[in-house]
């Protein structure tokens, strides 16, 4: 929570991957705090539902279909946010996926390319699009989604994804350090298993899901809202000395 009452009221956040899961949960949390929420996702129907839910909470929403793997669309997303609300204060790059599970020798060129395009380029394009604007305002917070996978390596199922998320965490740190004196903070969140559509999209087997669960001392998966509340804290004025870090949220597990 912020130190200042109504800190987020009237401020604007852009959220990618906002159609479901962590992105949608975060959108609704920022709406609760009175922020303007720009909801972006390749899933047009889902992102419209999120925008409608934000509006229903009394906040202002802008929902748009965006493919974050395309630079022009990502630049357009930021420009539309600025045109609508005047300033972008926060960017949450939530869009990402493992595409599909694969053992290391089964990872082909297409899977590797698609995984890096979505997770790395999608994050890279968003940051490059918004940072010039944040530099003009000398204010901005960027939060990217990493993963516990970058610490574990993803053996047997997702080395491609772990490598991509490792790149996200490293890139976030570099951006944070480069712009640390210019009013911009950049952080990443490395969750353990979270109950989202991600698992279904990646075709996680029941055995793999159980293995993830067995590694969590709390004996449950995280909730999207628990990640969203952390994003809120990271963006708030209660967190102004924090930058370049990744925060692990894993119920005590995810290290095996």
**Residues recognised as catalytic:** 161
Q: Are 249 and 216 in contact (CB under 8 A)?
A: no
The residue whose two tokens read 């001392």 is: 217
Dihedrals phi, psi of 93, to nearest 5 degrees: -85, 90
**Distance (Å, whole) CA 256 – CA 254:** 6
Terminal CA-CA length for the chain = 32
In order of 81, 157, 187, the CA distances from 28 in angstroms are 17, 32, 20
Dihedrals phi, psi of 196, to nearest 5 degrees: -140, 170
CB contact set of 26 (below 8 Å; sequence gap of 6+): 15, 18, 92, 94, 224, 227, 228, 231, 232
């Amino acid at each position: 929570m912020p130190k200042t009452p109504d800190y987020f009221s009237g401020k604007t956040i852009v959220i990618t991957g906002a159609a479901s899961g962590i992105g949608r949960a975060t959108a609704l949390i920022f709406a609760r705090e009175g922020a303007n929420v720009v909801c972006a996702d390749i899933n047009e129907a889902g992102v419209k539902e999120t925008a409608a839910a934000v509006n229903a909470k009394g906040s202002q929403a802008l929902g748009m279909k965006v493919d974050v793997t395309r630079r022009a669309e990502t630049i357009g997303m930021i420009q539309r946010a600025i045109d609508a609300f005047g300033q972008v204060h926060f960017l949450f790059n939530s869009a990402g996926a493992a595409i599909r599970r694969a053992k290391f020798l089964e990872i082909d060129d297409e899977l590797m390319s698609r995984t890096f395009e979505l997770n790395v380029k999608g994050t890279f394009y968003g940051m490059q699009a918004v940072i010039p604007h944040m530099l003009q305002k000398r204010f901005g917070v960027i939060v990217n989604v990493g993963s516990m996978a970058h610490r574990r390596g993803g053996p047997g199922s997702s080395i491609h994804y772990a490598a991509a998320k490792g790149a996200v965490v490293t890139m976030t740190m570099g951006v944070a350090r480069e712009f640390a004196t210019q009013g911009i903070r950049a952080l990443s969140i490395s969750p353990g298993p979270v109950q989202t559509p991600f698992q279904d999209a990646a075709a996680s087997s029941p055995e793999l899901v159980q293995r993830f669960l067995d590694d969590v001392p709390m004996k449950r998966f995280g909730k999207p809202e628990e990640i969203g509340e952390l994003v809120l804290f990271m963006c708030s004025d209660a967190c102004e000395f924090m930058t370049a870090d990744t925060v692990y949220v894993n119920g005590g597990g995810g290290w095996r």
